[in-house]
């Protein structure tokens, strides 16, 4: 079983739609969580950190469920520019091992 | 305030040559990570270094690959006797403290 698992997609959604991605992690020692986005042939860029109480940044909402060991990303009012691969990241304590999921591909269509 | 700097952006080598990839972390960052990404695939962790120390190299192939992060200068990922299968994008990321990682633009390695 992978340490961080994501549905690879692709998720094809129309502009303006709301879309949600889930990500599960297996290491219960994971303490910090992040969402990155990666455009084709570019470097991953930090989208947002994920806090236990949930957090929102504009059209993006991230949530963490420690009991079930999953995090989610909700995108409201999708834009064409949201088309990318979204990477879920879990980081453990100690020397802070960082594990990336393989990503969920989102395609927003006009 | 420069971000993570990787060079070269593109590197072409013939089979059997050596490839050296450089990564200068963000100012003040002492933790460096290297990842490899094949086309249409996810990021694969290779190695995690802190100044002068290798913390985790569980993702590094056992042969031909090595990494260092000296006290002065950039981190270097070195691939000896390259083969076609080494063709990939190699990304470096750095962080400091509990902050998230920030990535460089990557080096695209092509093996002829």
pLDDT in tens, A48-101: 999 888 899 999 999 999 999 999 999 999 999 999 999 999 998 766 778 999
Sort out which chain A residues have CB atoms less than 8 A from B31's CB and list them. 96
For chains A and B, CB pairs below 8 A equal 44
Nearest Cβ partner for B105 among A43, A96, A98: A43
Cα separation of A31 and B81, whole Å? 39
Other C-beta atoms within 10 Å of A77: how many? 11
pLDDT for residue B1: 53
Beta-bridge mates of residue B75: B23
Check if the beta carbon of residue B77 is closer than 8 Å to that of residue B18.
no
- Sorting pLDDT into bands at 50, 70 and 90, what band is B82? very high
- For residue B97, pLDDT over 90 is answered with no
Within an 8 Å CB–CB cutoff, is residue B38 touching chain A? no
Cα separation of A65 and A87, whole Å? 17
């Amino acid at each position: 079983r992978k340490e961080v698992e994501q549905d690879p997609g692709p998720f094809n959604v129309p502009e303006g739609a709301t879309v949600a991605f889930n990500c599960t992690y297996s290491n219960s020692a994971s303490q910090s969580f992040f969402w990155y986005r990666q455009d084709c042939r570019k470097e991953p860029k930090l989208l947002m950190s994920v806090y236990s109480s949930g957090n929102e940044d504009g059209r993006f909402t991230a949530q963490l469920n420690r009991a079930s060991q999953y995090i989610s990303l909700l995108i409201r009012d999708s834009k064409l520019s949201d088309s990318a691969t979204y990477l879920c990241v879990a980081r453990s304590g100690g020397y802070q091992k960082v594990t990336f999921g393989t990503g969920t591909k989102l395609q927003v269509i006009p | 305030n420069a971000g993570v700097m990787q060079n070269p952006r593109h590197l072409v080598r013939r089979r059997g040559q050596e490839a050296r990839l450089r990564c200068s972390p963000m100012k003040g960052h002492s933790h460096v990570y290297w990842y490899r990404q094949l086309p249409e695939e996810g990021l694969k962790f290779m190695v995690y270094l802190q100044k002068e120390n290798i913390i985790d190299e569980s993702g590094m192939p056992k042969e031909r690959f090595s990494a260092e992060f000296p006290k002065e200068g950039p981190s270097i990922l070195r691939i000896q006797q390259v083969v076609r299968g080494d063709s990939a994008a190699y990304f470096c990321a750095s962080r400091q403290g509990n902050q998230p990682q920030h990535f460089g633009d990557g080096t695209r390695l092509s093996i002829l």
